A and B are shown apart, each in its own frame.
Chain A
Amino acid sequence: DGGITQSPKYLFRKEGQNVTLSCEQNLNHDAMYWYRQDPGQGLRLIYYSQIVNDFQKGDIAEGYSVSREKKESFPLTVTSAQKNPTAFYLCASSQVEGGPWSEQYFGPGTRLTVT
């Protein structure tokens, strides 16, 4: 089955620690995205990548970092510089060539709690 996997589902960290969230897709999509979701708010874009070894900041990139070494993988690191890291994090992917790139497909999410 094609899809997007995120792991772990729940993650707990102490303040001051960096943490990396995993996102893998086997949809053969070129583009991948990270969003943050807080209660009562729409999704906010953290980072996106449309091709391997290239990525761009979204609206709320401060305190986060990403890498895109493989087409299938787009891990997100939440650094200690992120002031309010507790949130639900969603990874998504979409086509770029040969299809409507704007149709994004989401993973199941990772809920990060930092205390």
Chain B
Amino acid sequence: GQQLNQSPQSMFIQEGEDVSMNCTSSSIFNTWLWYKQEPGEGPVLLIALYKAGELTSNGRLTAQFGITRKDSFLNISASIPSDVGIYFCAGHRTGFQKLVFGTGTRLLVSP
């Protein structure tokens, strides 16, 4: 099955720094979702995007639906230690009854 390309694979940053990650595909998607997963737990939905160019925030998190509809971006501002986890993107393509998931970006934050 198809998977989305996420980058970077991992990031190690200092508390207070801003973080950017992205998710790309060769296919057009009509929905982009961003999830966070902590060790041993299920993913938690952070942000959902439905229109090309859409910019949506959830606290310190901001995500954008790329204009080409083939990519999406997630930014975290002023990172804190509890931001640690794996961030997954997921996309839905018209006509397909399932989501496609990225391989994840592992974020580590140093106090």
How many B residues face the partner with a CB closer than 8 A? 24
User: Which A residue's beta carbon lies closest to that of B31?
Assistant: A102
B 94-109 to A, binary, CB cutoff 8 A, 1 in contact else 0: 0001110111100000
State whether the Cβ of A107 lies closer than 8 Å to any Cβ in chain B. Answer: yes
Binds A, one of B14-22, B43-51, B52-60, B62-70: B43-51
What chain B residues lie within 8 Å of A109 (beta carbons)? 40-42
B 70-103 to A, binary, CB cutoff 8 A, 1 in contact else 0: 0000000000000000001010100001110111
Please tell me which one of the listed residues B1, B4, B97 contacts residue A56 in the complex, with CB atoms under 8 A apart. Answer: B97
What chain A residues lie within 8 Å of B42 (beta carbons)? 4, 6, 90, 92, 106-109
State whether the Cβ of A50 lies closer than 8 Å to any Cβ in chain B. Answer: yes
A 92-114 to B, binary, CB cutoff 8 A, 1 in contact else 0: 10000000101111111101000
Show the binding face of B for A, using Cβ within 8 Å: 1, 3-4, 31, 33, 35, 40-45, 48, 50, 88, 90, 92, 97-99, 101-104
